[in-house]
C-alpha cells in the first residue's frame, strides 16, 4: 500500500513481534517452569505445543469473563486475558502436578521486563522517528502487564501512547480497536501508519479501517513478502 510519508503524523506499532520478543522464547520458559511443576515433556514438544495451542485458543469464543460482550470472540478484558492464558498453559503443559501454580508462575514471569527484549534496532529507530517529528504509539493485543514490561525497557521511552486491548475492551483485528487508535491519536485515519508483524490482524485490519499499514518480518532475510525487515527499514523509508 503506497502512502505519502508527509501526511503521516502518528506511527502506531504492534508490540510483540514488532518491538519486543520474549527472551528466552516462550517455549523455553514453559519447558523450564513445567519441569519445576512435574512435567516430563521434552523441550521440542513444549515449543511445538505452544504454537499450536496459542493459535487454537486465540480463536476461542467460549472464554467466559462474565462481561455482557463475552459472546464476541474479539471482546477482551483483564479477566478474559487471564482465562485465555490459563487455558494456554493447561493445554501446553497438560501433565504438570500443580497446574494452577504453574500458570501463576508463568503469568507472573511474562509480566516482568526481564522476560522480554527489544529487537536490536528498536531504541535508535524510535529516537530517530521522534526527532523527525512523528508521534509514536504502541497498539497491542495484551493485558495490563504490558505497562510494567514497557516501563522497564528504556528503549521504548520515545513511545507516547499505549493502546492495550484489555484496557479498551477489544482485540485486533476488530474495527473497534482501530477506531480506538484513531480517537486516542486525535487525527484522521489517513494520518496514521500502523506497523505490525501479523499480515491479517495488524496490516489488513488497519487498512480496512482506513489507516496506512506496513508489515514487519524480522525473520524474512530475503524480503520475499515485501515486508520491512526491521524498524531501520521504516526509518529509511520515512526519512
Instruction: Show the CA angle centred on residue 202, arms to residues 59 and 197, nearest 5°.
Output: 100
What percentage of the chain carries pLDDT values higher than 70? 97
As a whole number, the mean pLDDT across the chain is 96
Q: What is the arrangement of strands in the sheet containing 161-164, beginning at the earlier edge strand?
A: 161-164, 135-140, 10-13, 192-196, 212-215
Q: CB-based burial of residue 158 (10 Å sphere; 0-12 exposed, 13-18 middle, 19+ buried)?
A: middle
Distance in angstroms (rounded) separating the CA atoms of residues 183 and 23? 33
Count Cα neighbours of 32 within 13 Å in the Cβ-side half-sphere. 9
Distance in angstroms (rounded) separating the CA atoms of residues 44 and 23? 17
pTM over 0.85: yes
pLDDT tens, 13-65?
A: 999 999 999 999 999 999 999 999 999 999 999 999 999 999 999 999 899 99
Cell of 58: 486465540
CATH superfamily ID and name for 5-19+119-238: HAD superfamily/HAD-like (3.40.50.1000)
Query: Is the Cα dihedral 63, 64, 66, 71 positive or negative?
Result: positive
Query: Is the Cα dihedral 147, 151, 153, 159 positive or negative?
Result: positive
Amino acid at each position: 500500500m503506497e502512502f505519502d510519508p508527509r501526511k503521516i503524523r502518528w506511527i502506531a506499532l504492534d508490540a510483540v513481534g514488532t518491538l519486543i520478543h520474549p527472551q528466552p522464547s516462550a517455549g523455553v520458559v514453559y519447558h523450564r517452569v513445567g519441569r519445576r511443576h512435574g512435567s516430563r515433556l521434552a523441550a521440542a514438544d513444549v515449543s511445538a505445543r505452544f504454537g499450536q495451542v496459542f493459535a487454537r485458543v486465540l480463536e476461542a469464543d467460549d472464554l467466559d469473563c462474565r462481561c455482557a460482550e463475552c459472546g464476541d470472540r474479539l471482546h477482551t478484558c483483564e479477566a478474559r486475558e487471564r482465562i485465555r492464558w490459563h487455558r494456554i498453559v493447561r493445554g501446553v503443559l497438560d501433565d504438570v502436578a500443580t497446574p494452577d501454580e504453574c500458570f501463576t508462575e508463568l503469568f507472573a514471569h511474562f509480566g516482568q521486563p526481564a522476560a522480554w527484549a527489544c529487537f536490536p534496532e528498536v531504541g535508535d529507530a524510535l529516537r530517530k522517528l521522534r526527532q523527525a517529528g512523528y508521534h509514536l504509539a504502541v497498539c497491542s493485543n495484551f493485558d495490563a502487564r504490558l505497562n510494567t514490561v514497557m516501563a522497564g525497557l528504556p528503549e521504548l521511552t520515545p513511545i507516547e501512547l499505549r493502546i492495550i486491548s484489555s484496557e479498551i475492551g477489544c482485540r485486533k483485528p476488530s474495527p473497534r480497536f482501530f477506531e480506538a487508535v484513531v480517537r486516542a491519536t486525535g487525527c484522521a485515519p489517513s494520518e496514521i501508519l500502523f506497523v505490525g508483524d501479523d499480515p491479517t490482524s495488524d496490516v489488513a485490519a488497519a487498512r480496512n479501517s482506513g489507516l496506512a499499514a506496513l508489515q514487519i518480518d524480522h525473520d524474512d532475510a530475503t524480503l520475499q513478502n515485501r515486508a520491512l525487515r526491521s524498524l531501520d527499514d521504516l526509518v529509511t523509508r520515512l526519512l
